[in-house]
Amino acid sequence: MKVSVIGAGAMGGAIVQGLLKGDFSKNSDITIADPSQKVIDQFAETGASITTDNNIAAESSDIVNVVVKPWLVKDVLEGIKPSLNYKKQILVVVAAGVSSGQIKEWLAKDGEDLIPFFLVIPNIAIALLSSMTFIVPANAKPEHTKLISELYGSMGEVIITDEKHLAAGTTLASCGIAYAMRYMRAASEGGVEIGFKADDAKNIVLQTVKGAVELLQATGEHPEAAIDKVTTPGGVTIRGLNEMEHAGFTSAVIRGLKAAL
């Protein structure tokens, strides 16, 4: 299966890295396009094809992923429209805030059915095959959805959702990876304050968070049920948790998520 990625910036580059690490396509079947030669040169030794011409990437693949800033989507789509084969290709647009209605308008061709396309939002952990990716079938048949799920499922977990929930998914998983990192930064700084060297504190926090994630994934427990197992009555854990709640920890997290919608 031939796959192209148009736009190899932070998110596009992360998707390319995931594709190169994953098993959905051979490296030789991957095409990477970006206007910056310097950006695509980093992939020159991978066996993938690289180009500064979006149309070359668009016409050479079965699945075309457009991964650019939201304000560039219109120009990029209109630029590659002549090169897209609406009967044989599938289009994926990765850009927060761009609607399916806009894409339909930009890609309309007289006398032709619209190309099957998807709105997709991964997060940057896709580079390590650990993304939480939201997929919205916007103009697609079940077999198209299955294929795109397999593509992004090869680089992490996927959820098929509707367009009205895409912003919430972006906040919870794409923005959310930054929120999780902010907690880790705060905990690392706290670790320094209670006596650890900075690097040691960071490593302790990273391993602790990793362990918490793996425990919840393995057991399927709700986080609060797992918390109850380590909160001895009158102990230090419950005192620390209550102090965080007095400072508005849970409320701050929820308000941050809602503010990003």
For the segment 10-30, the average pLDDT, to the nearest whole number, is 97
Q: Residue 99 — pLDDT band, cuts 50, 70, 90? A: very high
More confident residue, 156 or 111: 156
Q: Where are the alpha helices (DSSP H) in 131-175?
A: 142-153, 166-169
Check residue 205 and give its pLDDT.
97
Say if residue 174's pLDDT is above 90.
Answer: yes
For the segment 140-157, the average pLDDT, to the nearest whole number, is 98
Copy the structure tokens of residue 59: 């016409």
HSE, CB side, 13 Å, CA atoms: give it for residue 236.
Answer: 0
Q: What does pTM read for this prediction? A: 0.93
- What is the C-alpha to C-alpha distance for residues 190 and 195, in angstroms, rounded to an integer? 9
Task: Round the average pLDDT of the chain to a whole number and report it.
Answer: 96
Copy the structure tokens of residue 167: 């912003």
Check residue 85 and give its pLDDT.
96
CATH number of 3-161: 3.40.50.720
Q: Residue 193 — pLDDT band, cuts 50, 70, 90? A: very high
Say if residue 45's pLDDT is above 90.
Answer: yes
For the segment 159-180, the average pLDDT, to the nearest whole number, is 95
Check residue 111 and give its pLDDT.
82
Rama region for 248: left / alpha / beta (φ>0; ψ in -120 to 50; rest)? left
Residue position matching structure tokens 């079940």: 142
Cα–Cα nearest to 112, from 85, 135, 138: 85
Say if residue 2's pLDDT is above 90.
Answer: yes
pLDDT tens readout for residues 58-70: 998 999 999 999 9
For the segment 141-148, the average pLDDT, to the nearest whole number, is 98
Architecture of the domain delimited by 170-259: Orthogonal Bundle (1.10)
Check residue 110 and give its pLDDT.
87
pLDDT tens readout for residues 110-142: 888 999 999 999 999 999 999 999 999 999 999
The whole-angstrom distance between residue 16's C-alpha and the CA centroid of its chain comes to 12
- What is the C-alpha to C-alpha distance for residues 252 and 261, in angstroms, rounded to an integer? 15
R_g of the chain, CA atoms, integer Å: 21
The structural domains of the chain, with segments of one domain joined by +, span 3-161, 170-259
- What is the C-alpha to C-alpha distance for residues 196 and 11, in angstroms, rounded to an integer? 34
Say if residue 233's pLDDT is above 90.
Answer: yes
Check residue 112 and give its pLDDT.
87
Check residue 5 and give its pLDDT.
98
Is residue 77 within 8 Å of residue 26, measured between CB atoms?
A: no
Helix (H, G, I), strand (E, B) or coil at 160: strand
